[in-house]
Amino acid sequence: MAPMIYTLYGFAIFFFIFWCAMWLLHLIAIFYGKYRLHKKVKPLPADEPYPGVSILKPLMGVDPHLVSNLETFFTMSYPLYEILFCIEDEKDPAVDVVNALIEKHPKVSPMFLLAVLL
């Protein structure tokens, strides 16, 4: 009976040490994540200009929320951008919607691109 008790004690000690090691591993992971992975992002200095960007927006037809969806592109706070509207047909009804938004927001530089299907 004595060897059985020592075997059970051995298992108990092993699993207790394993349990403590897992707790220690979790604590290390929590502190590592808090102090290494959650760094504050340094903002760009004000004297460096933002790079210009081009937004390519394919259009085909009109859906119920097209005006509000496209208006978000015209009202962005990014300083330097252009919007490229890609259309398949010059008679697409979405062109009229975009032209109305261009008249409403003259500071944005949009451009139409006509897609050629092969």
Q: Does residue 65 share a domain with residue 107?
A: yes
**Cα 69 from Cα 51, distance rounded (Å):** 24
Burial level of 85, CB count in 10 A (0-12/13-18/19+)? buried
Checking if the pLDDT of 17 tops 90, the result is: yes
Indicate whether 12 belongs to any domain: yes
| DSSP 3-state of 35 | helix
Q: Does residue 100 share a domain with residue 75?
A: yes
| DSSP 3-state of 51 | coil
Domain count along the chain: 2
Q: What is the pLDDT of residue 112?
A: 82
Q: Does residue 68 share a domain with residue 28?
A: no
- 21-62 pLDDT, tens per residue? 999 999 999 999 888 888 777 776 777 778 889 999 999 889
Q: Does residue 75 share a domain with residue 25?
A: no
Indicate whether 46 belongs to any domain: no
- 67-86 pLDDT, tens per residue? 999 999 888 888 888 899 99
Please give the model's pTM, rounded to 2 decimal places: 0.57
> What domain range includes position 66?
53-114
pLDDT band for 107, please (50, 70, 90 cuts). confident
**Cα 57 from Cα 62, distance rounded (Å):** 14
Indicate whether 88 belongs to any domain: yes
Q: Does residue 67 share a domain with residue 15?
A: no
Q: Does residue 68 share a domain with residue 34?
A: no
Burial level of 46, CB count in 10 A (0-12/13-18/19+)? exposed
Indicate whether 45 belongs to any domain: no
